[in-house]
Amino acid sequence: MCCEGQASNDGSDRLEESGTSRPFDGSATGWLLSQAVRALNTADKEGEAAYGRSVEVLRRCSKDLVDIVRAIFRQTQNGDSSLRWNLLFVVGDVGDESAVDFLVGTALTALPEVREGLGCETDRDMEILVSTMAIHALGSVAKRHPNTVEGVLKVVSARPAKQLLVEAVKVAVDLGLRERAQHILPREDHWIFDLRRAHTQELFANPEREDGKERGFTPPKSGALYTAPGVVPCVERRK
């Protein structure tokens, strides 16, 4: 199976004409892309297999993939961060050299200003997630196409917001570009290279309490005598 046909016969982008309600209808590639996104969000083995098949086909006929994704991004503007995140994930698994400029541009898109007092999941937070996915998509493309590693280094050299710079450095190190990235960044940013990655298992507290025998059923007289960690669901930024 392969994708045939462009977004429109005259070279224009049919996706922009179709409206935001059906953003994948412009071509066969668009339809396949929609299947990949749907499968990506299906949490079972069948969905995993369907995603793998979609990626396999898209890699063979992804000539207009980036154009379609770019058109959907223009339709959504800064909205629907979840859809854009999913699209970037697919581009990371499917894209080739032609995807690099788009991914670099997305990674370096200007972020909304910091606005205090809005709690978690502000527009800025959502756009950081999208840009982070673009950076990791660049890493995925570079692993399959080593000649595209300069895209990752371009993001590093731009020194975006700290959250994004950390992710770009992590990807660069994974690609074996540690020395080049260190040479690009000023010494004041070299602390990033010393960050340790924790495994998921390290982030969970042991649910088994071992302090019951010592205290029996005697209630605490003062203070908290339990050992379980406290959790703060949302911490606002400090100025």
Q: Are 16 and 71 in contact (CB under 8 A)?
A: yes
Q: Model-level pTM?
A: 0.75
HSE (CB half, 13 Å, CA atoms) of 230? 4
Distance CA 39, CA 49 (A): 8
The torsion defined by the Cα of 18, 19, 23 and 28, in degrees rounded to 10, comes to 0
pLDDT of the residue at 17: 36
Of the two residues 171 and 23, the one the predictor is more confident about is 171
CA dist., res. 151 & res. 147, Å (int): 9
Question: How many Cβ atoms sit within 10 Å of the Cβ of residue 28?
Answer: 15
The Cα 207–Cα 224 span in angstroms is 17
With cut-offs at 50, 70 and 90, classify the pLDDT of residue 13. very low
| Per-residue pLDDT reduced to its tens digit, 122-135 | 889 999 999 999 99
Please give the single-letter amino acid code of residue 217.
Answer: F
